[in-house]
Amino acid sequence: MEPIRIMIPEVHEAIEKRDFRALKEALQEFHPQDIVDLLRTMEPADRLILFRLLAKDRAAEVFSFLELDEQKDLLSRFTEQNLKEIIVEMSPDDRTDLLDELPAGVVKRLLVLLDPAERAVANELLNYPESSAGRLMTPEFVDLNADMTVDEAIQRIRQTGPDKETIYYAYVTDATRTLKGMVSLRTLLLAKPGTRIEEIMKEEPIRVRTADDQESVAHVIRKYDLLAVPVVDREERLVGIVTVDDVVDVIADEATEDIQKMGAIEAAEEGYFQTGFFSLARRRILWLMILLVTATLSGSILEHYTAALQAAVILVFFIPMLMNTGGSTGTQSATLIIRGLATGEIDVRQVGRVVARESLMGVLLGSAMGLLGFLRAILVPGSDPNVWFTVGLTLILTVTAANMTGALLPIAAKLLRADPAIMAGPVIATIMDATTLLIYFEIARRLLGIG
Amino acid sequence: MEPIRIMIPEVHEAIEKRDFRALKEALQEFHPQDIVDLLRTMEPADRLILFRLLAKDRAAEVFSFLELDEQKDLLSRFTEQNLKEIIVEMSPDDRTDLLDELPAGVVKRLLVLLDPAERAVANELLNYPESSAGRLMTPEFVDLNADMTVDEAIQRIRQTGPDKETIYYAYVTDATRTLKGMVSLRTLLLAKPGTRIEEIMKEEPIRVRTADDQESVAHVIRKYDLLAVPVVDREERLVGIVTVDDVVDVIADEATEDIQKMGAIEAAEEGYFQTGFFSLARRRILWLMILLVTATLSGSILEHYTAALQAAVILVFFIPMLMNTGGSTGTQSATLIIRGLATGEIDVRQVGRVVARESLMGVLLGSAMGLLGFLRAILVPGSDPNVWFTVGLTLILTVTAANMTGALLPIAAKLLRADPAIMAGPVIATIMDATTLLIYFEIARRLLGIG
């Protein structure tokens, strides 16, 4: 799968010996991604040497496979001429990604290198909101007329194909650039040569809008098993396409982002090793501070009941178990709802169905945990039936409450246009700790006649 | 995007009126996924009616878009003839998915309906381990010979294309079916008609093996931006391909699975509403029970130190804050490592680098939290410097320990061939609760001279 690994020592040797001809030939064999892996094993200065040995279009392709911070590092070493070659050859969507990350001054300098038409495209793409279909799309699609024949269409694909992001889906537009239909290269190739496009095209093809969030673009491509989806503006004019390879990254990245938020980390765009140490520390420390301060609320409740605790020391034993079970139950239901909302499987309008299901679930889990806690309490030396019932009853109530809290907070976040993923484990656990202690001591006070 | 929504009342009406001809025509317009959405709004009996109005190949396609439990439900209503039509028309990988889920008796009955060649394929696919490339692949790929011309190759694609999963990538094999190269339809279409395939094919194409896990197949397709990847057996013979649309589902499903495990839920294959109530309860209750019982360890520790607690009641106030911060820190580092391992960005061989990074991070976060806790302690009425230092010191130690525990447990799980995702929030929190209490009271004992 990675035959290039074997080559690494040879490549390093060739660079040392300045044997560029052999190197240039060897590089032609490999997939751009493999060349990226190779570049990563090299010193920055050598990277530039190797990079300049690549053919122009290949260099742009390799460049697109680099992470953004690697692209920035390499850019800083380029001459104006190198820069121009790479930027011009990059596909518009990859170029937008890069320009988006660079300081404004550098962006200006790069835009100057493009010809006016390409500069207009770059500027247009940059004007769409971040994470929107407009940013993700490329304007390099194949467009056809409805009255072309299959032969003419294939001819057109042959001519314009080399510059297009995909030639496997072609889009049919009219004189006003309005999206009229879609035809796959498969359909074209299997149809009779003289057939007109309008006879075989799919009318009203599935589309997204420039302002649509990239997550919903991913949903559409995933739902309909598409290789690309057309992007239209408010007037239904076709302005670009989003291809499945970009969507694969969106799906994986959005999952990473959600997972990080659920773990009480402000989401980072880069991977674990790519993210700077202090940047990562910052993303973690804010949440830890908020949670630490919030948790002192539970401390106050615990302190408020110290008289009760001192009167019945045995109550202390059950505190971690009760807090932990409440937190875990809330984490579970929050996890299910957050993921359901993210994959589009749960809609906020289904809140009634969620409430019905989770209140039943809470009672079921609460009863089970209550029974288990009750039995566990019996085993504790010095406990009595009042303690057993206090523990059992507390578990029934807290587990039921935690289950509902975990289910409803992510939905509430979504309704308030916040990210549901922040309403996960650590936040729910902190909220449930306080609730659990209140329930516990109020029951204990009544059953044990203390405090 | 979903124009079929408008049609739903009309379709229901047409079924009631038994106006099948109009219905049949209307159905031809829609994407199979939209017909699935329509089916979901209908009574089971009506579903069958609507389903039988679809053309054979279209019915098979719609069927493939249904969830497995919906497929099973529909199958149970089919006549032998319906069944045969659907099963025969389904693509081999979708068929394997279905057969995999059905009771053995039903599978036997269905296999009988296939012709011997297709039966052999189904049996072969079923013999690969679950979640392997072998299960995910389809044997319906386009294969070419190296000495064909481009024209001959396109001719062959035209002839065999209708039965293939994708025609956009074709694979070059020799007489022994060994994978020799790969050529995209794009390359074919842009090449001169008389060119020989061996001149333009990509030699040594990226490939996966039948036994490879589906997650690593997804990594390869994502890394190299492929539309499909060839699957070879141990002798490098080409046996199938995995296409990007299957991989999109794998990426999303694996993320869901990890997120559920991280939320202490045994992962379910179906979505939130698809999973049965009791099945979901079962998947949650086992973890809750394990965590409840484990948490009693923290209870024992707390109980062990009740004398100290009674001597310095103020210590009670800080318990939730300390346990919570330890749990949250461990959740954060576990989250980062689990996701890094899942996306392939962190390799278990990098454990040294992770340890170096996370020990530094632990000290940094610990110091920050220690300082914050120290300051918070000053604000608590009746506290004294000994208490401030006890709280601050405990936070430094527990946060450092929690950060390392959260980072190392997922890696340990991976080394032991368990899923790292189970070593997440709730498990780490439970472990850290006990550790935190031990550290807290041992420091308090020494600084406050109690217990």
- Give which of B381, B332, B406, B429 is closest to A289, Cα–Cα: B332
Rounded CA-CA distance A269/A4 in Å is 28
Residue type, A70: E
Residues of chain A with Cβ-Cβ distance to B422 below 8 Å are none
Task: Note the pLDDT tens digit of each residue in A65-102.
Answer: 888 778 878 877 777 777 777 777 787 778 777 777 77
| Per-residue pLDDT reduced to its tens digit, A365-414 | 899 989 998 998 898 888 889 889 999 999 999 999 999 998 998 898 88
pLDDT of A267 reads 63
Q: Point out which residues pair with B132 in neighbouring strands.
A: B213
Query: What is the β-pairing status of strands A208-209 and B142-144?
Result: unpaired
Considering the domain B142-243 in this protein, what is its CATH number? 3.10.580.10
Q: What is the per-residue pLDDT for B4?
A: 52
Question: Rounded to an integer, what is the distance from CA B372 to the centroid of its chain?
Answer: 39
Range(s) within chain A of domains with CATH label 1.25.60.10 = 4-127
Distances in whole angstroms, Cα of residue A403 to Cα of each of A400, A409, B155, B169, B250: 5, 10, 61, 49, 29
Which among B30, B215, B324 is the top mutation candidate for probing chain A, defined by the most A β-carbons within 10 Å of its own β-carbon?
A: B324
- The pLDDT of A294-298, averaged and rounded, is 81
Question: In Å, how far are A96, A107, A210, A329 from A91, measured between CA atoms?
Answer: 9, 16, 18, 48
Instruction: Specify the amino acid at residue B341.
Output: L
CATH classification of A4-127, choosing from 3.40.640.10, 1.10.8.350, 1.25.60.10, 1.10.3720.10?
A: 1.25.60.10
Cβ–Cβ < 8 Å for B196, B216: no
Please report the pLDDT score of residue A265 as a whole number: 67
Mean pLDDT of A109-132: 76
Give the tens place of pLDDT for each residue, A31-53.
888 888 888 888 777 787 777 78
pLDDT reported for residue B20 = 78
Looking up tokens 């461990």 gives B330
The pair of structure tokens assigned to B171 is: 């694979």
Give percent above pLDDT 90 in chain B: 18
Q: How far from chain centre, in Å, is Cα A203?
A: 32
Point out the residue among A167, A255, A303 whose CB comes nearest to the CB of B316.
A303
| Record: contact A281-B339, CB cut-off 8 A | no
Q: Across residues A219-236, what is the average pLDDT?
A: 89
Are B238 and B177 in contact by the 8 Å Cβ rule? The answer is: yes
Task: Name the phi and psi angles at A210, rounded to 5.
Answer: -55, -35
pLDDT at B266: 67
Averaged pLDDT score across all residues of chain A:
83
Cα–Cα distances in Å, from B315 out to A11, A46, A375, B441? 63, 59, 29, 9
One-letter amino acid for residue A84 of the chain? K
Please determine, for residue B269, whether its predicted confidence score (pLDDT) is greater than 70: no
**Do A140 and A165 form a contact (C-beta atoms < 8 A)?**
yes
> To 10 degrees, what angle do helices B56-65 and B80-89 make?
80
User: Does the pLDDT value for residue B285 go beyond 50?
Assistant: yes
Query: A263, A338 in Cβ contact below 8 A?
Result: no
pLDDT on residue A451: 59
When scoring B138, B151, B259 by the number of chain A Cβ atoms within 10 A, the one with the most, hence best to mutate, is: B259
Residues of chain A with CATH 1.10.357.20: 277-448
Q: Which residue in B has a C-alpha nearest to residue A294's C-alpha?
A: B321
Q: Which residue has the tokens 């040995």?
A: A53
Q: Does residue B115 carry a pLDDT above 70?
A: yes
Question: Tokens representing A403?
Answer: 């289950």
Token output for A390:
């206090």
- Give the whole-angstrom CA distance, residue B210 versus residue B217: 10
CATH architecture of the domain A277-448 equals: Orthogonal Bundle (1.10)
Q: How far apart are CA A196 and CA A200, in angstroms?
A: 7
Residues A411 and A337 sit within 8 Å (Cβ to Cβ)? yes
DSSP A129: P
Task: Inform me whether the pLDDT recorded for A16 exceeds 80.
Answer: no
The Cα–Cα gap between B128 and B117 comes to 18
d(CA A14, CA B213): 36
Of A287, A317, A350, the CB nearest to B303: A317
Q: Which residue of A has its CA nearest to B34?
A: A224
Joined together, the tokens standing for residue B138 give 């389809």
Q: Name beta bridge partners: B376.
A: none
Question: Taking CB atoms and an 8 Å limit, are B343 and A309 in contact across chains?
Answer: no
> Chain B residue closest to A296 (CA)?
B321
Residue A229: pLDDT over 90:
yes
Q: Decide if pLDDT at B344 tops 50.
A: yes
In chain A, where does the domain assigned CATH 3.10.580.10 lie?
A: 142-243
Alpha carbon of A91: minimum distance to chain B alpha carbons (Å): 14
**DSSP for residue A271:** -
> Which one has a higher pLDDT value, B93 or B272?
B93
Would you place residue B392 in the very low, low, confident or very high pLDDT band (cuts 50, 70, 90)?
very high
